[in-house]
Structure 1
Amino acid sequence: MKKVLPITNAVIAIAAGALVLLGYFFPGFFGKIQSTLIGWAIILAGFAVLLGIFNLAMVHWKKITSHDKNQGYSIVLLVSLVLTILLVGISGPTGSLSLWIFNTFQVPAEISLLAVLAVVLIYAVARLLSRRPKWYTILFLATVLLVLLGSAPLYFLGEINILSTIRAWLAQVPAAAGARGLLLGVALGTVAAGLRILIGSDRPYGG
């Protein structure tokens, strides 16, 4: 039984992956099978999310009942979780209450994280300048200064067109190229991982 189960898991995973892949090349017959399998995957993913939420709630509930020293954070999390589920369930995902939660809590939290990121970048620049300056240090500092100066008008000079043009070029050419390179790397890694699972050399499902 211990040997049969891993083989069965591998056969199911390889067959499902092959059928979904064939659905892209032969959408006629295999397209229906592909849609069915993807629908099943979405349902399983939804149940996995619910299971993760339940597990998160149970972990923090145990911290509260065991009087953990950080139980205050657990109380805040559970209360926020319950209120969010209730309010979103009442008003819907695009209702006024849901949008109020998003604009009141989610957006300020994301803005705060971006502010922390800016502080970390400034600290990184200071650390770089404290060491022996190299060409990439100077390039990084010059890029940061150009982007900052081109993003907002200066107090006495107002908006400088050439700085805005340079900032736009930096955002549209080098930054976009780097982002696309990262996305291509992620895509290639995903394809490689999928092929390894498809041929059975990698078995994250066990066995």
Structure 2
Amino acid sequence: MRPRRALLAACACMMVLCVVNPAYAAGHHSHKKVGTDGGVPRRWDLPKPAAVPHPDVAPPGAGGLLGDGTNTISFAAFDTGDIIVVLGTTFGHAGCWSDALYSAARGLSSYCIWSANVTPVNGVQLEQPIKYRAYDRAYGLWVPSKASYGATVIGYCAQQKGEPYNILSSKTDQSRWYCSKLPWVAWKLKAGVDLDADGGYWVWPVDLVNDGQTSLFAMSN
């Protein structure tokens, strides 16, 4: 279990670790908290990129293929249930982070992100953070109003392991998946929040970024 973020500033040893390895410092992870007034602290609510509308059509191909860019997003602030979205290819990729599956020893090679993909197997599967570094832009998102639901969300994602990938599946089809649909369904069913910014038939990765209920806590362009 990671210590609370409120204690990080007082933990000199952790600060040293962060300097050595800012993306993966053992024990650096901790839980984000909303303020006493119910607001989101600025460091966990960074300015989002300008929303760019897109037509409500199926994304033009399977997502999650290897990216052709690079970014340096740090995963040190990710909590269970947080969403990672990467953009820069045709329409990007998305997944949900699991602390329990992250290994400090394996670091970027940990299999700790639930997503749906067509490779190396077809269907819902675990992916490595290193995969998400191979895109032009990366965003770490959380849902402040439902922060306590992260473990429930991840539990739902895990239950879908092995179910097939289908980019044409509707949002109400809970037996076939694409990358951004998995976190969208998990958060909607388990936490009661609809994170699709444009409310269309399909939910694109960027829709998760654009939605007003997600806050941006980490990014790399």
TM-score per shorter chain, which class? under 0.3
TM-score normalised to structure 1 length: 0.22
* More helix, by proportion: 1
If the length of structure 2 is used for normalisation, what is the TM-score?
0.21
Instruction: Tell me which protein shows more strand as a share of its residues.
Output: 2
Larger Rg: 1
